Structure 1
């Protein structure tokens, strides 16, 4: 038994990415707890949340809409990563790794979205 979204690779990857981003956010300075830390964590969690919520919808256009929200959340995480790098909270190597993970997840989500049409 289980939910169909749990079988989706994009949901599994989004879950892993969200946990990695959450760990990163915990390392930011305490003054960022209500700002960048909160923003990047909520955006990263929103990726998997929207995939799961959209998968429950009965129509492909509705699921497509929720996948679009996931893509927007990925873009938000990337912007937060840029902010973190500019503020010297992360080094270039970690930025590059997380940026690539986000890029790959976005491409996978867009490909899945295209299949639904």
Structure 2
């Protein structure tokens, strides 16, 4: 890997950020500092932590930041469920699929990093 920008999971997570921004723009204005803000923060956290982890020294640190990305992704998934429950948006199969796809890619990347980690 030359850069985090070469990772497909990074590219997909950037597209998720865009999708979330477009989605929350339709939320009620009184949610601007509530769910809207939270969902944006979580979405941005996913590619940001992938990038930060890739820029750190060693595979253990990279894996740790990928786990943080995974946590942000799970948090975002929950917030999307809440937005659907509150009728701020309709159930979006494409968004749900993208989240699942990114989770799967993160899991596989973490597994591959942990397999290559030297044992002491």
Partner of 1:98: 95
Deviations 1:2-42 (A, max 9, x none): x6011110100000111111111111100100000000010
Cα distance in 1 for partners of 2:77, 2:96 equals 6
Cα distance in 1 for partners of 2:43, 2:17 equals 5
Instruction: State the secondary structure of the residue aligned to 2:89.
Output: coil
Deviation at 1:85, TM superposition (A): 0.4
**Unpaired stretches in structure 2, ≥5 consecutive residues:** 115-120
Cα distance in 1 for partners of 2:20, 2:84 equals 14
Structure with greater helix share of residues: 1
Partner of 1:9: 8
Instruction: State the secondary structure of the residue aligned to 1:109.
Output: helix
**Unpaired stretches in structure 1, ≥5 consecutive residues:** none
Mapped pair 1:64 → 2:63: yes
RMSD of equivalent CA atoms: 0.9
- Runs of 4+ in structure 1 deviating by more than 6 angstroms, as ranges, are none
Partner of 2:118: none
TM-score calculated relative to the size of structure 1? 0.93
Larger Cα Rg: Structure 1 or Structure 2? Answer: 2
Deviation at 1:58, TM superposition (A): 1.5
